[in-house]
């Protein structure tokens, strides 16, 4: 069973930074992808950023130039460095993984595909002065 643990959220002022971590375990192969998604009340889930097994990345238009996704393959951990945070970035951020990396990659971009197999518990990011 794949287990995901999201951490790193908190309260930050506009313009500040946070780094989220998604620690994963239980994969049966090295062929997987991990992504970050966010949810706020009344809005659809958004794909924030995803990275697949060969290093390809995706960023939602609303975070391009501000957020950076990276991975430490040895630790099975994916990070999301969030800079220049805005109040509208306030959300619960979830990490998700799938051993069908193309599926997750397309899901991240909003395509109508099956939801990823594994989800973490989420971590709350609040951007407020």
- The whole-number average pLDDT for the span 107-122 is 95
Confidence of residue 74 (pLDDT cuts 50, 70, 90): confident
Per-residue pLDDT, 38: 97
Confidence of residue 122 (pLDDT cuts 50, 70, 90): very high
CA distances, 68 to each of 2, 43, 84 (Å): 24, 23, 12
| 3-state SS class at 73 | helix
Per-residue pLDDT, 53: 83
Torsion of CA 28, 32, 38, 41, to 10 degrees: -60
**H-only helix segments in 31-124:** 101-108
CA dist 58 and 98 (Å) reads 15
| 3-state SS class at 54 | coil
Pairing of strands 123-127, 10-12: parallel
- The whole-number average pLDDT for the span 75-89 is 96
Measure CA 110 to chain center: 14
Q: Tens of pLDDT along 31-66?
A: 999 999 999 999 999 999 999 988 899 999 999 899
Q: Tokens standing for 79?
A: 């990070």
Q: Tokens standing for 104?
A: 């997750």
Confidence of residue 75 (pLDDT cuts 50, 70, 90): confident
- The whole-number average pLDDT for the span 81-103 is 97
């Amino acid at each position: 069973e794949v287990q995901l643990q999201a951490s790193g959220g908190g309260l930050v002022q506009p313009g500040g930074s946070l780094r989220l971590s998604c620690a994963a375990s239980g994969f049966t192969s090295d062929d997987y992808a991990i992504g970050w998604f966010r949810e706020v009340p009344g809005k659809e889930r958004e794909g924030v950023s995803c990275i697949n097994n060969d290093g390809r990345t995706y960023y939602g238009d609303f975070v391009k130039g501000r957020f950076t996704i990276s991975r430490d393959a040895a630790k099975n951990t994916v990070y999301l460095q969030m800079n220049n945070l805005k109040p509208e970035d306030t959300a619960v951020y979830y990490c998700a993984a799938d051993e069908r990396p193309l599926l997750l990659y397309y899901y991240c971009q909003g395509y109508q595909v099956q939801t990823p197999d594994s989800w973490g518990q989420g971590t709350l990011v609040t951007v407020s002065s």
